[in-house]
Amino acid sequence: MSTILEVSYFLSMISFIVGLKYLSSPQKAKLGNLLAGLGMTLAIIVTVTGSFYGKGFSLNLILLLIAVFAGTVIGKRMADKAEMTRMPQLVSYFNAMGGGCALLLGILEAQQVHGDSNRTAEVVLLTAMMIGATSFSGSIIAYLKLAGKQKDQKTLAVVVLSRIALFSLILIPVFVSYQFLSLTLMQEVCILAGIALLYGIVFVLPIGGADMPVVISLLNSLTGVATALAGIMFHNIIMISGGIFVGSAGVLLTLLMCKAMNRSLWNVLAGKFKGKKAGSGAAAEEMDIKPTSIGEMATNLAFANKIAIIPGYGLAVAQAQHLCAQLENILESKGVEVHYVIHPVAGRMPGHMNVLLAEADVHYDKLKEMEEVNDDMASYDMAIVIGANDVVNPAAEKDADSPIYGMPIIKAYEAKQVVVIKRGMSKGYAGVENSLFGEENCSLLFADAKVALNGIINELKNIA
């Protein structure tokens, strides 16, 4: 049995590695997801079979099978129902479950350990349990914030409580190890679990609601670390490797998101935007806004040779990706060259726009990275900005006082003509005015992305 277990774990590990590799390419992402899922299924089957082999049907096995079945059905339903714009909520919810598991495993395992146990093993158990508890409560708060049910709480009391909780989590195990504090393992586990749950709450409460994708990615990596530590506790190689993959991928993703926003992780965690207060920059009333109409835009498009479509969060909100693809097709049928220019943090999660456009069967060759196109932006007759704001804001390059100064942007303003499709004059995620809207070559089509695209497509059909 142990050979079968080891070979299966090895195959599962390979599937995780290949799956992760494939996830970095939009064409292979689905296959990667499937492979990693199959690897995980194999790991679960052999672990359960290995644990219950030759023991017949026990209550534990029945409970486990019911739990796996219920978890599969509920998880599948939730994933099927979740809209793309709500994906970060779903991830935070699933992550809370992972953290909760590590917390429960820590508590259960503590009951098995007796007085003469090895302190190093106890510290591993305590660390896994504390990280799991922090990740559990932190993810629940992140979920509530994303769902708009919890506001930011950046009060002094919350910040002080967060520091006290963090120091207690570090100092209590040290004091117990050096016998300055006398606690049984179970007492220590219960006290630390309570403090870690509190820490998760006060850690996430002050962070800006819009920074939640970064926080969720960080908490996700913490859950990975907790799983790896639990794997050490249970001498389970697949838990260790799976946890390490999740932990390291989460850290890399967190840092990539911060880099693409030109903000330090500390800045995000402290809930700060650098520079002036969010909201600085030229006021909308001071800008010369030039509204345009669906008819005017369609006519201009009909005479264009090369078009850049720049999608943003608003496209996802409007669920207008299919219409976007239709617009591309109709323009191409008229001999226009069309590219989608993608900013790495457009939308609300990494790869948001790629996934959205893939849903509408937009060919991957049409998608251009920001860096690929920026130097060539002047060659586009028109840049159509659909529901994007911060990622095309020239203030990031030109206004050293702007909170987003230094963030790489798509240089839409360099195109011969720019049309921004949005519903009104709302600011983007960073809460700053967009100086692009006042540029000479820029006009705004005030409409929901779906309504606007529908109108443009109908007009273009009528233009021979």
Q: How far is the CB of 318 from ligand NAP (least distance, A)?
A: 4
Query: With respect to ligand NAP, which residue has the nearer C-beta, 144 or 384?
Result: 384
Q: For residues 22-41, which are near ligand NAP according to CB under 6 A?
A: none
Minimum CB distance to ligand NAP smaller for 150 or for 267: 267
Q: Does 448 bind ligand NAP (CB under 6 A)?
A: yes
Minimum distance between the CB of residue 427 and ligand NAP, rounded to whole angstroms? Answer: 6
Site for ligand NAP in 295-324 (CB under 6 A): 312-314, 317-318
Q: Which is nearer to ligand NAP, 193 or 317 (CB)?
A: 317
Q: Is 257 in the site for ligand NAP (CB under 6 A)?
A: yes
Residue among 226 and 261 whose Cβ is closer to ligand NAP: 261
- We find the least distance from the C-beta atom of residue 217 to ligand NAP, in angstroms, to be 8
Minimal distance, residue 310 CB to ligand NAP, in Å: 8
Catalytic residues: 390
- CB of 336: closest distance to ligand NAP in angstroms? 22
Site mask, ligand NAP, residues 416-435, x = CB under 6 A? Answer: -----xxxx-x-xxx-----
Cβ-Cβ contacts under 8 Å for 261 (sequence gap 6 or more): 268, 345, 404, 407
Binder among 87, 261, 324, 331 for ligand NAP (CB under 6 A): 261
User: Pick from 367, 321, 362: which is nearest to 344 by CA?
Assistant: 367
Whole-number minimum distance, CB 314 to ligand NAP, in Å? 2
**Segment near ligand NAP (CB under 6 A), from 77-85, 127-135, 182-190, 384-392?**
384-392
Tell me the number of residues near ligand NAP by CB under 6 A: 31
* 83/332 with CB nearer ligand NAP: 83
126 near ligand NAP, rule: CB under 6 A: no
Site string for ligand NAP, 224-243 (x = CB under 6 A): --------------------
Residue 388 CB, shortest distance to ligand NAP, in Å, is 4
Residues 336 to 375 in contact with ligand NAP, rule: CB under 6 A: 345-350, 352
Comparing CB distances to ligand NAP, the nearer of 259 and 334 is 259
Q: Which residues bind ligand NAP (CB under 6 A)?
A: 213-214, 257, 261, 312-314, 317-318, 345-350, 352, 387-391, 421-424, 426, 428-430, 448-449
